[in-house]
Chain A
Amino acid sequence: MKIALKNCQLVQPQQKINKKSNLLIEDGIIIKIGNLSAEDLKHAEVFDLKDNFVSPGFFDMHVHLREPGREDEETVQTGCDAAAQGGFTGIACMPNTEPALDSAEVISLIKEKAKNHLVEVFPVGAATVGRKGEVISPMAELFNAGAVGFSDDGVAIKNARILKTSLEYSTMFDVPIIEHCEDESLAGGAMNEGSTSTFLGLPPIPSVAEDLIVIRDILMAEYTGGKVHIAHMSTKKSAQMVREAKAKGIRVTAEVSPHHFTLTEEAVKGYNTNTKMNPPLRTYEDVEAMLEGLKDGTIDCIASDHAPHSLEEKEMEFEYAPNGIVGLETQIGLALTELYHKKVLTIEQLVEKFAINPRKILNIPIPKFEVGERANLTIIDPNEIWSVDISQFKSKSKNSPFNKRLLKGKAVGVINKKKMVLNGKSKKI
């Protein structure tokens, strides 16, 4: 089957492309870029994209699919549906499932379940067996089964010795250790420590709990030569330390989640459990630091930390509610509204954060606009004004603090693996 995408604003910063063009795609392969003749358009279904941005498919490197174990909250299928709806053609899923992604069998199970979906799923293996922080996982086996990185996400790798071993061992595959940075002895609170936590009487999590593990991990990356990726960075100090480490050539990368550059701890007032996440919402200063980090490249990419929770689990006393929010279907809109339209990032930079850098970090080939390449792309309407409606989410879970928020800019479509989702409708192409 043949389709033509007319009037695309192609953006692929790695190829230094930012131009108006047209794409002709046949059986999922780009067969022509540029002016399309009447001959080209014969038998092709034509879509006029009206100068919308078309970029390499966006990639979210921090998603919790909950399968296996908590299929009531999300499954590979519903998570991928949510990803496609939100504008992503690829995701990396985190290993804190039940059982954890610490065996080749579970990794293969995920890959198998995702096989026929438009969205490609790349599992992150557990760094240690059962994520217990005692023995490193069979990394070679997991790598061969398709793991693209290792993490004990939910917690940091328990101690420096296991971290050292993990980093040394993982260098053989050149994959990153993805760290949830939180010092265990300072963990356990319900929100960021500050005047808001005092006012609300909520047990605090000090920001230094994150900073301590970030600096530990940077030092260990330097010492071992391994690759560390800081997941969901949230503090000003962390950003500063990563900036300095990068300047020294240490192999450290970082991601930020949209809630950490759009919301502050103030949002917790009212005890809405959808403002409870870990790391917690921080201060205005921290948000500013996240924006600065995105701007100067300290922060490589944006990732949702999509964490589905059932309604029953979130509908309870704030202190007892689980951490996390869903993010796949809101993050591109949030990024366009808060970063692109507010001139924090250009469209090229945004594409780097969403499509190029996450794949670089995980050694996944980056889609290009070239004849003969697979069509793997995201279509962005930067000007569509829409309001978030959790009842329309494809995700099984609706735990979002952004319900009813007005956003400017939306991912309106994705194409990958001979499939297309455009304006909410799926079709084979």
Chain B
Amino acid sequence: MPLSSRHLLGLETTPKEDIKLILDTATTFKEVLERPIKRVPTLQGKTVVNLFYENSTRTRISFELAEKRLSADAVNFSVSTSSVSKGETFKDTIRNIEAMKIDMVVVRHAAAGTPLYLTQLCEAHIINAGDGIHEHPTQALLDMYSIREKLRRLEGVKVCIVGDIAHSRVALSNIFGLKTIGAEVSVCGPATMIPRNIKELGVKVFYNIDEAIQENDVLNILRIQLERKAGGNFPTLREYHMSYGITNERLDKNGKDILILHPGPINRGVEISSEVADGSHQIILQQVTNGVAVRMAVLYLLGTQN
């Protein structure tokens, strides 16, 4: 069964069957990653461009590894956003890249909607690796994969996303994906970091982290973007840590087995304490491993379409 779309632009419009297909396919690829020779010939002869208009280390490496393990030819194209205003337009860049006969583009861009725009500019399959504060579908898929792997299900699981929801593409993709698959989604953070109309997305809102811990099976803790800190959405890092930081003390107090995810990179002592980041509740590094498998699944499913 193929995916219903030629692209992976976001999870808002991705149907349940597609999400399940990606997650199931990822299971197969995860097995490949356990082998001594971690490479399959599936995408031999296919060319994938990793078009990164924004700095990213882990997402890019994860995609690059996934591409290489599928035997695709991977090319990295990194540009700083500032060069956009200086020289070639985005459209011209894409036309040039397409003229080199490529099959897929993995795009990371600071402006929301750019992956959709790309589909209008070229024929290649487009995979969104994060667009502005819009979506980051493969991150959400790997989060969902990791939850499913650990809890053996997603339907009915109560997941709370904690942190700066208003400025997070990870949050939005997780909300869309988890809701589609039948999980119960909530968000938790200071009011300044929760979008005004969040309830229209069908999620519950917690302002109190202890309540969020008590009522959920999973916490997905977002990184506090330190660059947004001063005078912005919360007074001080200290106050954020005090109000929303996940510590052992807090987990013990609520006396509950809870699964902790974090998309990384983590700020130890801010949104998560060191002992939690290294502790028994978290699956942060499994997420990273699963990320490669999930991205292999997406690349495979799109790259073998006609």
Q: Please tell me which stretch of B55-63, B196-204, B234-242, B243-251 contacts chain A, meaning at least 4 of its Cβ atoms lie within 8 angstroms of it.
A: B196-204
Q: Is the CB of A271 within 8 A of B116?
A: yes
- B68 CB–A CB distance under 8 Å: no
Q: Is the CB of A318 within 8 A of B112?
A: yes
**Residues in B neighbouring A202, C-beta threshold 8 A:** 112-113, 132-134
- A195 CB–B CB distance under 8 Å: yes
Q: Is the CB of B134 within 8 A of A317?
A: no
> What separation, in Å, do the CA atoms of A198 and B134 have in the docked complex?
8
Q: Known: A200-B112, A201-B169, A317-B117. Contact between A195 and B197, CB under 8 A? A: yes
Closest to A270 in B: B116
**Residues in A neighbouring B200, C-beta threshold 8 A:** 195, 198
Which B residues between 139 and 175 are near A, CB-CB below 8 angstroms?
Answer: 166, 169, 172
8 new A-B contacts at CB < 8 Å, known A317-B111, A318-B117, A319-B132 = A190-B112, A198-B200, A201-B134, A201-B135, A202-B133, A271-B113, A312-B89, A318-B112
Closest to B10 in A: A201
Q: Is the CB of A319 within 8 A of B195?
A: no
Q: Is the CB of A198 within 8 A of B197?
A: yes
In the complex, 10 of the A-B residue pairs with CB atoms within 8 angstroms, ordered by the A residue number, are: A194-B196, A195-B201, A198-B197, A198-B200, A201-B133, A202-B113, A315-B89, A315-B91, A317-B113, A318-B111
Residues in B lying within 8 Å of A, measured CB to CB: 12, 84-85, 89-91, 109-114, 116-117, 131-135, 166, 169, 172, 195-198, 200-201
> What separation, in Å, do the CA atoms of A318 and B172 have in the docked complex?
19
Q: Is the CB of B84 within 8 A of A320?
A: yes
Which A residues between 154 and 198 are near B, CB-CB below 8 angstroms?
Answer: 190, 193-195, 197-198
Which among B117, B131, B201 has the highest number of chain A CB atoms within 10 Å?
Answer: B117
Type the 1/0 row for A54-90, where 1 means its CB is closer than 8 Å to any CB of B: 0000000000000000000000000000000000000
- A203 CB–B CB distance under 8 Å: yes
Contact of B12 among A194, A197, A199 (CB under 8 A): A199
Cβ of B89 to closest chain A Cβ, rounded Å: 6
- A219 CB–B CB distance under 8 Å: no
**Residues in A neighbouring B112, C-beta threshold 8 A:** 190, 200-202, 271, 318-319
Q: Is the CB of A317 within 8 A of B109?
A: yes
Q: Known: A201-B134, A203-B133. Contact between A320 and B111, CB under 8 A? A: yes
- A140 CB–B CB distance under 8 Å: no
Cβ of B124 to closest chain A Cβ, rounded Å: 18
User: Chain A interface: which size bin?
Assistant: 20 to 34
> What separation, in Å, do the CA atoms of A259 and B166 have in the docked complex?
28
Q: Is the CB of A200 within 8 A of B201?
A: no
**Residues in B neighbouring A199, C-beta threshold 8 A:** 12, 172, 201
> What separation, in Å, do the CA atoms of A316 and B197 have in the docked complex?
28
Cβ of B295 to closest chain A Cβ, rounded Å: 21
Which A residues between 11 and 56 are near B, CB-CB below 8 angstroms?
Answer: none
Q: Is the CB of A316 within 8 A of B89?
A: yes
> What separation, in Å, do the CA atoms of A201 and B132 have in the docked complex?
7
> What separation, in Å, do the CA atoms of A194 and B166 have in the docked complex?
12
Per CB-CB distance, the 7 closest pairs between chain A and chain B, nearest first, are A201-B134, A271-B113, A317-B111, A195-B197, A201-B112, A195-B200, A319-B111
**Residues in B neighbouring A270, C-beta threshold 8 A:** 116
Contact of B114 among A190, A203, A317 (CB under 8 A): A317
Q: Is the CB of A201 within 8 A of B172?
A: yes
**Residues in B neighbouring A203, C-beta threshold 8 A:** 132-133
> What separation, in Å, do the CA atoms of A393 and B218 have in the docked complex?
56
> What separation, in Å, do the CA atoms of A203 and B112 have in the docked complex?
9
**Residues in B neighbouring A319, C-beta threshold 8 A:** 110-113, 132
**Residues in A neighbouring B91, C-beta threshold 8 A:** 315-316
**Residues in B neighbouring A194, C-beta threshold 8 A:** 196-197
> What separation, in Å, do the CA atoms of A317 and B197 have in the docked complex?
24
Q: Is the CB of B197 within 8 A of A318?
A: no
> What separation, in Å, do the CA atoms of A318 and B111 have in the docked complex?
7
Closest to B12 in A: A199
Which among B85, B91, B196 has the highest number of chain A CB atoms within 10 Å?
Answer: B196
**Residues in A neighbouring B12, C-beta threshold 8 A:** 199
Q: Is the CB of B117 within 8 A of A198?
A: no
> What separation, in Å, do the CA atoms of A319 and B85 have in the docked complex?
13
Cβ of B159 to closest chain A Cβ, rounded Å: 18
Q: Is the CB of B90 within 8 A of A198?
A: no
Cβ of A215 to closest chain B Cβ, rounded Å: 21
> What separation, in Å, do the CA atoms of A315 and B12 have in the docked complex?
24
> What separation, in Å, do the CA atoms of A318 and B90 have in the docked complex?
12
Contact of B196 among A193, A200, A312 (CB under 8 A): A193
**Residues in A neighbouring B195, C-beta threshold 8 A:** 197-198
Q: Known: A312-B89, A319-B132, A320-B84. Contact between A200 and B113, CB under 8 A? A: yes
Cβ of A408 to closest chain B Cβ, rounded Å: 31
Closest to B112 in A: A201
Closest to A321 in B: B111
> What separation, in Å, do the CA atoms of A319 and B196 have in the docked complex?
20
Cβ of B120 to closest chain A Cβ, rounded Å: 9
Q: Known: A193-B196, A195-B197. Contact between A316 and B113, CB under 8 A? A: no
Cβ of B53 to closest chain A Cβ, rounded Å: 9
Type the 1/0 row for A312-331, where 1 means its CB is closer than 8 Å to any CB of B: 10011111100000000000
Cβ of B222 to closest chain A Cβ, rounded Å: 15
> What separation, in Å, do the CA atoms of A197 and B116 have in the docked complex?
16
**Residues in A neighbouring B113, C-beta threshold 8 A:** 200-202, 271, 317-319
Type the 1/0 row for A192-224, where 1 means its CB is closer than 8 Å to any CB of B: 011101111111000000000000000000000
**Residues in B neighbouring A271, C-beta threshold 8 A:** 112-113, 116-117
**Residues in B neighbouring A316, C-beta threshold 8 A:** 89-91
Cβ of B202 to closest chain A Cβ, rounded Å: 11
> What separation, in Å, do the CA atoms of A201 and B110 have in the docked complex?
11
Q: Is the CB of B111 within 8 A of A198?
A: no
**Residues in A neighbouring B169, C-beta threshold 8 A:** 201
Closest to A203 in B: B133
> What separation, in Å, do the CA atoms of A203 and B111 have in the docked complex?
10
> What separation, in Å, do the CA atoms of A341 and B117 have in the docked complex?
36
Cβ of A422 to closest chain B Cβ, rounded Å: 39
Closest to B113 in A: A271
> What separation, in Å, do the CA atoms of A193 and B195 have in the docked complex?
9
